Amino acid sequence: MFTQYTMDQLFLPMDLEEDIPQNHVARVINDTVNRIDDGIFEAAYTGGGRPSFHPKLMTKVVIYSYTQRIYSSRQIAKAVRENIPFMWLAARQRPDFRTINRFRSERMKDVLEKVFTAVLELLAEEGYVKLEHYFVDGTKIEANANRYTFVWGKAVVKQQAKLQEKVKALFAEIEQKELLEDAEHGGKDLTELGESSELTSERLEKAVTRLEQKLKEEPKNKPVKKAVRVLRKDLLPRQQKYELQQKLLGERNSYSKTDPDATFMRMKEDHMRNGQLKPGYNVQLGTENQFIVGYSLHQRPTDTRCLIPHLEKIKANLGKLPKTIIVDAGYGGEENYAYLEKEELEALVKYNTFHKENSKAWKQDISKIDNWTYQQDTDTWLCPNGRTLPFLRESKQKNESGYEVRIRHYRSMDCVGCPLKDLCTKAKGNREIQVSLAYLQYKAKAREKLRSEEGRELSVRRMIEVESVFGQMKNNRGFRRFLLRGLPKVSQEVGWLSLAHNLLKRATMSQKMKTVGQE
């Protein structure tokens, strides 16, 4: 009735490879990592001390764990002891969780991108990617940080301004009591500090030192004693704290105290349905055939300013950029258009009003300058009522990255009595428009490409390229929150995720091709 069963101990260890199917993802990971040059891993090891686990062993284990939705170092260490594919990849060796965590977050910090590039080159050799079409998009992933330990940039500026007023009032009070008359003790400098609009902790520290010196000479001087106590225990530490916060903020508007590199962003996963901002990172991915060709991590909640740093990183890693860049309307800024033109790249970049322009309401809205006529020979605009807006002046605007936008101003000579004025503008005077002619030209070129047959095909394809990769990461593999903290370590996690996705995708496609071949 039953097959033979015995618990007698085996004298020889079993061959684990026999229990792993031929098309298993563990075999794909094993073969791919074995083909990587050993010299790439040498930079991660300085030598000396106890012999380390082989970096290829550790790389295989970490990549395979990410394909199996195992991200905790303790869970990985447990799987190496109990799970057959893990045991086979590790050759029955058992690195503990500290070794695994140190390897993936510290040892590989300068090597992981080289490993990713090496794997990408192997995929290119096998024909999975060709670097012809590069689809870019971004997603936000929550940081491993407390959601309520936030620091807001506007609040820091406001509190620092209040602190400065307190310091000025304090020194004004000392001056009124004629405690700063003696220039020998720096009284003049202290008065100037109280009146200065620029307050730094360094200058405040010098002022406190001078007051302490004066207090040594006049121990019973109560106003100075009180001022030193307030400055040393309250005002100076607060000023130092605000300066540190501003340094951590940089160009951002917020950060988390538990992960200062994380910025508060609005996430799609809003369980409370109240638009709560959460600490997170903006992950930018570039794909081809749903393989991840490039990745980068950013602290900005919007995608517009992330495209150029992302492409620069890809060019540094690959030595060149793919032939055609396809992105959505979130990247349609003048600076990005100018960069792509400078790099002589074929680009398909939507702008934020591309789809609205096809609507009937947009075409009938005479307030939109897109429905006006620009007369290049006279450098004037012609409104729907036939009235001319001549050139008035030119202004320049610089964004945070230093890119300069030239804004040209045009104003109508006379809008009095125009029957369309109420539909054209709410201004009481004559209509004035502000336009960037360079941006209008970029939009016209983009519009022509997007409406072509190839443009429509690539736009439709973009919807299933990067979004499907994000779906695989977040939904199928359950990665919705980073485990590590800090921009360098979180970037490492994205690298491991990208490696795992590519090899899992390769295993799936290889299995499909073999199935089709058998049929």
Please indicate, yes or no, if residue 351 is contained in any of the structural domains.
no
**Per-residue pLDDT at 180:** 44
Domain finish residue from 226, 255, 284: 255
Domain finish residue from 200, 227, 255: 255
Same-domain status, 121 and 160: no
Query: Which parts of the chain sit beneath pLDDT 50?
Result: 179-189, 191, 194
Same-domain status, 117 and 52: yes
Please indicate, yes or no, if residue 237 is contained in any of the structural domains.
yes
Distance CA 422, CA 482 (A): 52
CB 17 within 8 A of CB 88: yes
Same-domain status, 27 and 124: yes
Same-domain status, 38 and 104: yes
CA 477 to chain centre: 21
Same-domain status, 207 and 174: yes
Please indicate, yes or no, if residue 231 is contained in any of the structural domains.
yes
Please indicate, yes or no, if residue 178 is contained in any of the structural domains.
yes
Taking alpha carbons only, the member of 417, 270, 447, 286 closest to residue 353 is 447
Please indicate, yes or no, if residue 177 is contained in any of the structural domains.
yes
**Per-residue pLDDT at 504:** 94
**Per-residue pLDDT at 276:** 85
Same-domain status, 106 and 156: no
Same-domain status, 122 and 169: no
Same-domain status, 98 and 199: no
Please indicate, yes or no, if residue 243 is contained in any of the structural domains.
yes
Same-domain status, 33 and 118: yes
Same-domain status, 103 and 208: no
Is the pTM for the entire model greater than 0.75?
A: yes
The helix, strand and coil proportions of the chain, stated in percent and rounded to the nearest 5, come to: 50, 15, 35
Same-domain status, 108 and 61: yes
DSSP helix/strand/coil, 280: strand
Please indicate, yes or no, if residue 7 is contained in any of the structural domains.
no
Same-domain status, 159 and 124: no
Distance CA 116, CA 307 (A): 20
pLDDT digits (tens, 9 = 90+) for 158-186: 999 999 888 888 888 777 765 444 444 44
CB within 8 Å of 163: residues ≥ 6 apart: 199, 235, 238, 239, 242
φ/ψ region of 85 (left if φ > 0, alpha if ψ in -120 to 50, else beta) reads: alpha
Distance CA 282, CA 302 (A): 8
- CA-CA distances (angstroms) from residue 341 to 191, 238, 264, 334, 354? 55, 48, 33, 11, 20
- List the domain range (segments joined by +) for residue 104: 16-129+501-518
Please indicate, yes or no, if residue 439 is contained in any of the structural domains.
no
Number of structural domains found in the chain: 2
**Per-residue pLDDT at 193:** 53
Domain finish residue from 255, 290, 309: 255
**Per-residue pLDDT at 188:** 46
